[in-house]
Amino acid sequence: MNKGFKILALLIAVIIAASFVGCSKKADKGDQFRVGMECAYAPFNWTQSDDSNGAVPIEGGGYAGGYDVEIAKKIAEGLGKKLVVVKIEWDGLEPALQSGMIDAIIAGMSPTADRKTRIDFTDNYYTSDLVIVVRKDGPYANAKSLSDFKGAKITGQQNTFHYTVIDQIEGVNKQTALPDFPTMITALSSGVIDGYISERPGAVSAMASNPDLTFVSFPEGQGFQASEEDVAIAVGLKKGSELREKINEILAGISTEERTQIMDNAVKNQPVVAE
């Protein structure tokens, strides 16, 4: 073979190799289960610096741990795909899903009627109740009923139903909604607010990481009125997603006892100080 043919053969080999690399990259992306979450809502999801306690890499750096991460791992395994966690601010989760940047939202998101008009949800993978997080040394630490919070400065996370239920407290001093739980914890600790609405696991998490905080829960029927869909948590998917049926099958295989154990471990393993 002369030199010209050798060069031509080499060029053809390079082109073929490049095409295989391109196909491989596409195939790799197709093998991914890309999940969006805040990575800032312990014990459901948080950011940490290493892979301890089963944490997984976050696209772009860092590691994610928490209840949502463990559920996402089980779903990815059941789908036969590689889990990729994408860290996204709360208000950016739905747009990221709609644009195809992520395949699912697993972020402690409730399947409310309003959200169902825009995206689909799987069956629930967790159900909780609502409490109010307060300072241990504050005037509301010993509150027993919603009426005890008359005049209190209370807030909730923006664009969540947590913020809307504040209106059920007669005479409350409803504050501007805040973007995330770390911001609310800071506002509470500094005295800017008297309390914020949370689901019980989030409150337990906040108390574990911040010894100066506690939370007020209410006897059944005497607390906040909320529909089951408001206090439940499910996986968010694009409308008509073919993943919904398969994910529901996977979730059905996770017993109530196992879900409780996963949450107990998440509360135990959460970082003492949010990173």
> pLDDT digit string (tens) for 221-270?
789 998 888 889 999 999 999 999 999 999 999 998 999 899 989 988 98
For the beta carbon of residue 254, count every other beta carbon within 10 angstroms. Answer: 16
Architecture of the domain spanning 30-127+232-269: 3-Layer(aba) Sandwich (3.40)
List the domain boundaries for the chain: 30-127+232-269, 130-216
Instruction: Read off the DSSP letter of residue 176.
Output: P
Say whether 130-216 and 30-127+232-269 share the same fold. yes
235 within 8 A of 121, measured Cβ to Cβ: yes
- The distance of Cα 181 from the centroid of its chain, to the nearest Å, equals 12
Dig out the tokens for 101 from the structure: 């940047």
CATH code for the domain defined by 130-216: 3.40.190.10
pLDDT given for residue 205 in this prediction: 85
pLDDT given for residue 142 in this prediction: 95
pTM across the whole model: 0.73
97 within 8 A of 236, measured Cβ to Cβ: yes
Q: pLDDT tens-digit profile of 20-46?
A: 444 433 334 689 999 999 999 999 999
**Which of 257, 275, 251, 272 minimizes the C-alpha distance to 68?**
251
Q: pLDDT tens-digit profile of 145-179?
A: 999 999 999 999 999 999 999 999 999 999 999 99
pLDDT given for residue 30 in this prediction: 82
Inter-CA distances, 219 with 139, 223, 260, Å: 20, 7, 21
